[in-house]
């Protein structure tokens, strides 16, 4: 047990070390990645002074925002339908919803690229958004469905028996119970979309390109401190949105968000 | 049927709610996959533009002696990644599940946290550490060649996908009744035999789920091989990426993608059948 504990500590140390190096050296005064010579914001200044890198940052944020809005809406509706509809094609749709989750990113990227070029859509930020939405819907559906399935349907029935219309029941009974999960799913999708490289790489146009695609091109020209700064900025955005995804629903709704389903806690 | 039975269940609105998402997935997910398969039988014109047709040669090229080693390497690297993730991750999952106590959730969050950081940035961090002029060589005062080796590529994949192994294994261990282990110790005596006869079989479905979750992204990865390796360590993902950016042979790229897809689909079916059997027994 003591050996196991020592191993676990070592494990965490090694898994955080590379990230710590990126963050620490993003504040280095010199170009060196071997010696830390002093604290400066030089590389952040360079990042924000570059018009094209700023453009990429805003492009990434726009993509993530648009993806979040559309995917959360479609995914929530889909979850509602999958749990509550008794359509003949519900099981088939369920499979269609789950397959994107296990599709390797490169397959997703190739298929999206082919679709857009075959219908003659010029590659741009729009095509990136369309691809991101496609592979975000399922995350929303899985998270929201976990929460929806746990709802007590008798409350809905009671509301309708007492004369509430369908719309009123949805708005006054179902949505208030559901929104912590919807919010959590939205923040997760934002983080996933902001971080995504492979899909963006296959579907982006020339300019502006999403930030991860810019990192990819930059790394191939060698290791530079500016990449450390971009990496640290991206890290902050992702950590904040994922932390909010877990914490906000609990703070505001005092309920389980349903995110646990993605951590396999509720998996069969 | 009584329309009001169980609130909104079976309501016409619920059926209509399926439409937007369902149609979207059909148009932007199912149709594109069909296009990939269709184009995999196509060919290119003189300018490299893709044209549809019936050219099954793309598939014999996939298994050409020139490309076969790349496929074999991808599967080999991915299997090595699964094995290493299991060996490195199982003890961590075990420690958290059995001895985590009140800090369990914090420890699980610590497992997840590095994976919230962009995969490119995490891989790049290893480049910065292991480069010829990198931090490790700088601190040790050595000039060891770490990059451009299979070890670096597999290491990058392990670091990239380890959480996918730890989480399901942890979930399986956490669900397990600790009394089983106590009973095992009474029955078998040593801790090791208890592990072999009790803990391992009980958590095997979690291990299987983790293996699939690691194998799927690892086998199609092209980032690790590109950044930490070189042409000698290229995987099928790099080969596919080259066909679409550079070589401009989209039909061959589509054939490679289709083969990868079918190969993974086969494994998924096997896994799901095993999981279904485990649920029944």
The more confidently predicted of residues A177 and A63 is A63
Residue A262's pLDDT is what? 62
The residues, ordered by sequence, that sit 6+ positions from A144 with a Cβ below 8 Å of its Cβ are A75, A76, A79, A80, A178, A181, A182, A185, A258
Q: Quick one: pLDDT band at residue A12, thresholds 50, 70, 90?
A: very high
Report helix, strand or coil for A224: coil
Predicted ipTM beyond 0.95: no
- CB–CB of A22 and B254 under 8 A? no
Query: For B64-280, CATH number?
Result: 1.10.3720.10
Share of chain A above pLDDT 70, in %: 94
Q: Measured between beta carbons, which residues in chain B are less than 8 angstroms from residue A187? A: none
Residue of B28, B49, B52, B103 for testing the chain A interface, max A β-carbons within 10 Å = B28
Kindly list the distances between the CA atom of residue A20 and the CA atoms of A193, B72, B114, B135, B216, in Å, as whole numbers in the listed order: 23, 35, 10, 12, 28
Top residue of A7, A18, A25 to mutate, by most chain B CBs within 10 Å, is A18
Q: What is the mean pLDDT of residues B104-111?
A: 90
A253-257, B131-135, B142-146, B171-175: least confident range: A253-257
Residue with tokens 């119970």: A177
Residue B9 touches partner A, C-beta closer than 8 Å:
yes
Average pLDDT in the A115-140 region?
A: 95
Residue B25 makes CB contacts below 8 A (sequence gap 6+) with: A93, A96, A97, A100, A134, A137
Please compute the mean of the pLDDT values over residues B74-99 and round it to a whole number: 96
CA distances from B40 to A139, B43, B257, B259 (A): 29, 8, 8, 10
- Closest by CA to A108, choosing from A201, A175, A42, A190, is A201
CA atoms of A89 and A249, how far apart (whole Å): 32
Please state, in angstroms and rounded to a whole number, the distance separating the CA atoms of residues A83 and A205: 38
Task: Give CA A82 to chain center in angstroms.
Answer: 22
Confidence band of B179 (pLDDT split at 50, 70, 90):
confident
Residue A266: which pLDDT band, with cuts at 50, 70 and 90? very low
Domain A50-263 is in which class?
mainly alpha
B8 to A102: CB separation less than 8 angstroms, yes or no: no
Residue B6: pLDDT over 60: no
Residue A76 pLDDT greater than 90, yes or no: yes
What is the rounded average pLDDT of the residues A224-250?
86
Residues 6+ apart with CB under 8 A from B51: B42, B43, B44, B45
In the predicted model, is pLDDT for residue B5 greater than 70? no
Which of the two residues, A168 and B46, has the higher pLDDT score?
A168
Which residues of chain B neighbour A12 with C-beta distances below 8 Å? 110
In angstroms and rounded to an integer, the radius of gyration of the C-alpha atoms of chain A is 22
Token representation of residue A259: 């995110």
Tell me the C-alpha distance between B54 and B40, whole Å: 9
As a whole number, the mean pLDDT across chain A is 88
- Let me know how long chain A is: 268
Peptide bond into A208 cis (omega under 30): yes
- Rounded CA-CA distance B107/B84 in Å is 21
Mean pLDDT of all residues in B69-91: 96
Q: What is the mean pLDDT of residues B75-81?
A: 97
| Mutation site for A-interface testing, chosen from B6, B9, B14 by largest number of A Cβ within 10 Å | B14
Query: What are the CB-based long-range contacts (under 8 Å, 24+) for B139-143?
Result: B139/A34
The better pLDDT of the pair B15, B240 is held by B240
* pLDDT at residue A117, rounded to an integer: 93
The residue-averaged pLDDT of A71-96 equals 90
**Mean pLDDT on B42-62:** 86
Measured CA to CA, the distance from residue B254 to residue B38 in angstroms comes to: 8
- Model confidence at B82: pLDDT above 60: yes
**pTM for this one?**
0.90
pLDDT at B4: 45
Q: At what angle do helices A90-102 and B12-25 cross, to 10 degrees?
A: 40
Strand partners, A39: A28
Tell me the shortest Cα–Cα distance from B21 to chain A, in angstroms.
Answer: 5
What are the pLDDT digits (tens) for B210-255?
A: 999 999 999 999 999 999 998 899 999 999 999 999 888 999 999 9
> Would you kindly state where each structural domain of chain B is located, as residue ranges?
64-280
| pLDDT higher than 60, residue A98 | yes
User: How many other C-beta atoms can be found within 10 angstroms of the C-beta atom of residue A40?
Assistant: 14
The yes-or-no verdict on residue B89 having pLDDT over 90 is yes
- Which value, in Å, is the radius of gyration of the alpha carbons in chain B? 24
Task: Give how far B65 is from chain A: nearest CA, Å.
Answer: 23
Report the pLDDT averaged over residues A239-250. 82
B144 CB within 8 Å of a chain A CB: no
């Amino acid at each position: 047990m003591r050996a196991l504990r020592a191993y676990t500590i070592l494990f965490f140390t090694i898994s955080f070390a590379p990230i710590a190096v990126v963050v620490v050296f993003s504040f280095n005064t010199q170009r060196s990645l071997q010696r830390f010579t002093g604290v400066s914001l030089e590389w952040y200044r360079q990042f924000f002074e570059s018009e094209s890198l700023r453009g990429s940052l805003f492009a990434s944020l726009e993509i993530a925002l648009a993806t979040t809005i559309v995917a959360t809406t479609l995914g929530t509706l889909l979850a509602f339908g999958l749990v509550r509809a008794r359509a003949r094609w519900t099981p088939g749709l369920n499979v269609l919803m789950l397959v994107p989750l296990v599709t390797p990113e490169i397959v997703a990227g190739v298929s999206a690229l082919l679709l857009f070029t075959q219908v003659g859509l010029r590659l741009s930020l729009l095509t990136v958004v369309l691809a991101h939405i496609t592979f975000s819907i399922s995350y929303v559906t899985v998270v929201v469905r976990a929460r929806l399935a746990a709802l007590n349907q008798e409350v809905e029935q009671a509301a309708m028996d007492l004369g509430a219309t369908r719309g009123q029941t949805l708005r006054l009974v179902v949505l208030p119970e559901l929104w912590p999960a919807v919010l959590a799913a939205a923040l997760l999708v934002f983080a996933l979309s902001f971080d995504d490289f492979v899909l963006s790489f296959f579907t982006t146009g020339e300019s502006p390109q999403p930030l991860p695609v810019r990192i990819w091109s930059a790394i191939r020209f060698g290791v530079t401190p500016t990449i450390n700064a971009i990496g640290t900025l991206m890290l902050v955005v992702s950590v904040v949105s994922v932390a909010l995804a877990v914490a906000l629903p609990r703070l505001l709704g005092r309920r389980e968000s349903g995110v646990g389903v993605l951590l396999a806690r509720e998996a069969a | 049927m009584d329309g009001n039975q169980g609130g909104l269940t079976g309501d016409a609105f619920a059926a209509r709610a399926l439409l937007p998402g369902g149609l979207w997935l059909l148009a932007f997910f199912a149709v594109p996959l069909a296009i990939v398969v269709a184009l995999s039988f196509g060919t290119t014109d003189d300018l490299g533009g893709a044209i549809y047709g019936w050219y099954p040669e793309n598939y014999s090229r996939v298994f050409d002696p020139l490309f076969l080693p790349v496929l074999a390497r991808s599967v080999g690297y991915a299997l090595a990644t699964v094995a290493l993730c299991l060996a490195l991750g199982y003890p961590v999952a075990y420690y958290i599940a059995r001895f985590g106590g009140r800090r369990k959730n914090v420890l699980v969050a610590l497992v997840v946290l590095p994976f919230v950081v962009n995969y490119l940035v995490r891989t790049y961090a290893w480049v910065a550490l292991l480069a010829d002029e990198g931090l490790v060589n700088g601190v040790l005062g050595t000039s060891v060649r770490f990059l451009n080796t299979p070890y670096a590529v597999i290491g990058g994949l392990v670091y990239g996908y380890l959480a996918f192994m730890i989480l399901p294994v942890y979930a399986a261990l956490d669900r397990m009744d600790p009394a089983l282990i106590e009973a095992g110790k009474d029955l078998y005596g040593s801790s090791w035999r208890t592990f072999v006869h009790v803990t391992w079989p009980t958590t095997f479905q979690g291990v299987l789920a983790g293996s699939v979750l690691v194998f799927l992204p690892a086998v199609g990865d092209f980032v690790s091989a590109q950044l930490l390796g070189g042409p000698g360590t290229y995987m099928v993902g790099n080969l596919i990426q080259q066909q679409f950016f550079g070589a401009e042979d989209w039909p061959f790229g589509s054939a490679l993608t289709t083969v990868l897809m079918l190969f993974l689909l086969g494994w998924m079916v096997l896994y799901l059948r095993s999981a279904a059997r485990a649920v029944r027994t």
